[in-house]
């Protein structure tokens, strides 16, 4: 058995500082995508459990909000230290429950260590501004007033995470919520509950008081809707698909609640005809095949200029063929499975659709006929037409789709022709063309001569249009998780 899984074979819920079985006593197995075998059973929380978690958080709102920043920072630094000490167990849990190659899982854990430490640091920056009151004629008497703002915690934060970064993305939400003085109720993806349960143990052991952090595991629809709609919930921070993000925004909007949404993308990587192939090809390999393409900022569309397209596609196909596919826990694995059999079957359908529309398969494209686990081979598709489903819908798999273009304006038009706008990458030595693209691509971040998946946990990260609303990056999320309050002081005699 993998270390870190619940010894009883069944997980529980953390509500108000105590571990509880789900009220309905129902559980569901979590399947290891590398083997197709169950790991352990995760609780199926009910709407009643979700309500109890929000109420426990609401009860802790006052005390956690009034806990001094330096004390909140101390707890967060302790969480960081505990995660660092538990690196190998957490990495193996991630690899087992979501099929992330172990080397990548370790990187995810290292980033989470940094996220709690950064959140602790950012508490010192969570200040307001002061204003020169005497610069305003009205209201009268401003000569003897001082004006400044403070940031108050917003209240109960609901943190909903996706399956693909079960530790780091949930941690972004938990760390910023707690650092800003808010109680948090977290709900991990049902495909990845055990990493979150292990994290919850560290939060408790580090001294997060009862109720300030709660964790419920259960079905998105009943549990998720209850968490979002509860009147005590003040902010929902969500990472996941655009479809679900919009559903949450609609429900949160009815209660006038704030949302931070990190949603889907179809990130373009634009390769111009003067691009250095020795840099662009490895970046495409990382961007497309890293964690089997199950990354929001994966390079889902490779827009390659005609003059270099043949060389680029051949070089990429060669690299894709050489990738080592295998179980996530094997040290040498470069590409693991996709999350489940449904995802693998869908990828095959998307490849069929592209070839029916005259795309060419250079490598891969067909699921293995036998063997355990939900694997899909690294695939390279060339001459993919714009209307192919694989470049219209998020594939979320190890599929490189090369779209050839002639002029810079064509690249801009194709890149912007989806409802999404998460990140983009441009490879060229020509600064003038690079900046023109950086200016005209409608995305939340552009990386010139770096991969689409580049991210700094401390810096603003997010998408525009249907890719996102608000920004993460500790300081930015913490600002969204606070309310600005104006304080005026009249010191007239």
State yes or no: residue 296 binds ligand NAD (CB under 6 A): yes
State yes or no: residue 190 binds ligand NAD (CB under 6 A): yes
For ligand NAD, the closer CB: 296 or 443: 296
State yes or no: residue 224 binds ligand NAD (CB under 6 A): yes
Angle CA(256)–CA(260)–CA(261) in degrees, nearest 5? 115
Peptide bond into 416 cis (omega under 30): no
- Contact letters for ligand NAD, residues 250-289 (x by CB under 6 A): ------------xxxx------------------------
Our answer to whether residue 262 is catalytic in this structure is yes
Q: Which of 41, 108, 296, 394 is catalytic?
A: 296
Strand (E) or helix (H) holding 483: strand 482-490
3-class DSSP assignment, residue 447: strand
Which residue reads 């990493």 in tokens? 195
Stretch near ligand NAD under the rule CB under 6 A, chosen from 91-99, 237-245, 303-311, 435-443: 237-245
- Phi-psi category of residue 295: left, alpha or beta, with phi > 0 → left and psi -120 to 50 → alpha: beta
- Residue 374 structure tokens: 């939900």
**Is beta strand 268-271 parallel, antiparallel or unpaired with respect to 301-305?**
parallel
Residue 492 beta carbon to ligand NAD: minimum distance, rounded to whole angstroms: 50
For ligand NAD, the closer CB: 142 or 467: 467
Contacts of 89 (CB under 8 A, 6+ apart): 3, 4, 198
- Contact letters for ligand NAD, residues 119-138 (x by CB under 6 A): --------------------
C-alpha span between 73 and 274 (Å, rounded): 48
Query: Residue 360's beta-bridge partner residues?
Result: 382
The answer to whether 205 touches 75, Cβ cutoff 8 Å, is no
- Contact letters for ligand NAD, residues 144-163 (x by CB under 6 A): ----------------xxxx
- Contact letters for ligand NAD, residues 358-397 (x by CB under 6 A): ------------------------------------x---
Q: How far is CA 274 from CA 122, 279, 316, 336, 421, in A?
A: 41, 12, 17, 33, 25
Chain length of the chain: 493
Q: Which of 78, 108, 262, 334 is catalytic?
A: 262
Residue 444 beta carbon to ligand NAD: minimum distance, rounded to whole angstroms: 9
C-alpha span between 198 and 5 (Å, rounded): 8
**Binding residues for ligand NAD, how many (CB under 6 A)?**
29
Stretch near ligand NAD under the rule CB under 6 A, chosen from 38-46, 244-252, 301-309, 405-413: 244-252
C-alpha span between 261 and 243 (Å, rounded): 11
State yes or no: residue 299 binds ligand NAD (CB under 6 A): no
For ligand NAD, the closer CB: 405 or 476: 476
The answer to whether 389 touches 415, Cβ cutoff 8 Å, is no
**Is beta strand 213-215 parallel, antiparallel or unpaired with respect to 233-239?**
unpaired
Pick one of 12, 34, 142, 164: the residue that binds ligand NAD (CB under 6 A): 164
Stretch near ligand NAD under the rule CB under 6 A, chosen from 92-100, 202-210, 236-244, 473-481: 236-244
- Contact letters for ligand NAD, residues 425-464 (x by CB under 6 A): --------------------------------------x-
State yes or no: residue 182 binds ligand NAD (CB under 6 A): no
C-alpha span between 194 and 322 (Å, rounded): 33
State yes or no: residue 99 binds ligand NAD (CB under 6 A): no
Q: Closest Cα to residue 271, out of 431, 427, 408?
A: 427
Please, which of residues 459-488 interact with ligand NAD by CB under 6 A? 463, 468
By the criterion CB under 6 A, which residues form the site for ligand NAD?
A: 160-164, 169, 187, 189-190, 220-221, 224-225, 228, 239-241, 244, 247-248, 262-265, 296, 394, 422, 463, 468
- Active site residue ranges: 262, 296
């Amino acid at each position: 058995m993998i270390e870190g899984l619940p010894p009883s074979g069944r997980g529980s819920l953390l509500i108000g500082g105590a571990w509880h079985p789900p009220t309905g006593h129902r559980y569901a197995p979590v399947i290891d995508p590398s083997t197709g075998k169950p790991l352990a059973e995760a609780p199926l929380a009910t709407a009643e459990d979700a309500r109890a978690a929000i109420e426990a958080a609401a009860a802790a709102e006052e005390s956690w909000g009034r806990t001094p920043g330096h004390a909140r920072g101390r707890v967060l630094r302790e969480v960081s230290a505990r995660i660092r000490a538990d690196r190998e167990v957490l990495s193996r849990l991630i690899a087992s429950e979501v099929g992330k190659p172990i080397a990548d899982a370790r990187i995810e854990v290292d980033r989470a260590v940094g996220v709690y430490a950064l959140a602790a640091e950012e508490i010192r920056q969570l200040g307001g501004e002061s204003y020169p009151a005497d610069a305003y004629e009205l209201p009268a008497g401003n000569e003897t007033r001082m004006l400044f703002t403070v940031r108050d915690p917003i209240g109960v934060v609901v943190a909903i995470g996706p399956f693909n970064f079960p530790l780091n993305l949930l941690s972004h939400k938990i760390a910023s919520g707690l650092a800003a003085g808010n109680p948090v109720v977290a709900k991990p993806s049902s495909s990845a509950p055990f990493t979150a349960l292990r994290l919850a143990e560290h939060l408790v052991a580090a001294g997060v008081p009862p109720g300030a952090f709660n964790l419920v595991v259960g079905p998105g629809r009943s549990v998720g809707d209850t968490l979002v709609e509860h009147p005590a919930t003040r902010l929902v921070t969500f990472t996941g698909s655009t479809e679900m993000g919009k559903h949450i925004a609609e429900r949160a909007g009815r209660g006038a609640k704030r949302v931070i949404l990190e949603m889907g993308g179809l990130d373009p990587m634009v390769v111009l005809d003067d691009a250095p192939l020795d840099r662009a090809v490895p970046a495409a390999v990382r961007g497309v095949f890293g964690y089997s393409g199950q990354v929001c900022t994966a390079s889902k569309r490779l827009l390659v200029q005609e003059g270099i397209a043949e060389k680029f596609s051949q070089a990429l196909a060669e690299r894709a063929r050489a990738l080592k596919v295998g179980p996530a826990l094997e040290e040498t694995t470069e590409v693991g499975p996709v999350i489940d059999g449904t995802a693998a079957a869908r990828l095959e359908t998307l490849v069929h659709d592209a070839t029916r529309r005259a795309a060419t398969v250079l490598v891969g494209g067909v699921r293995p006929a036998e063997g355990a686990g939900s694997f899909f081979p690294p695939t390279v598709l060339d001459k993919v037409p714009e209307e192919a489903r694989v470049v219209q819908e998020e594939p979320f798999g190890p599929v490189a789709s090369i779209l050839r273009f002639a002029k810079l304006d064509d690249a801009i038009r194709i890149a912007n022709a989806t409802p999404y706008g998460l990140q983009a990458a441009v490879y060229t030595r020509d600064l003038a063309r690079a900046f023109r693209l950086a200016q005209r691509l409608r995305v939340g971040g552009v990386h010139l001569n770096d991969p689409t998946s580049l991210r700094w946990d401390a810096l603003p990260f997010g998408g525009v249009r249907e890719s996102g609303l608000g920004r993460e990056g500790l300081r930015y999320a913490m600002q969204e998780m606070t309310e600005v309050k104006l304080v005026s002081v009249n010191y007239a005699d």
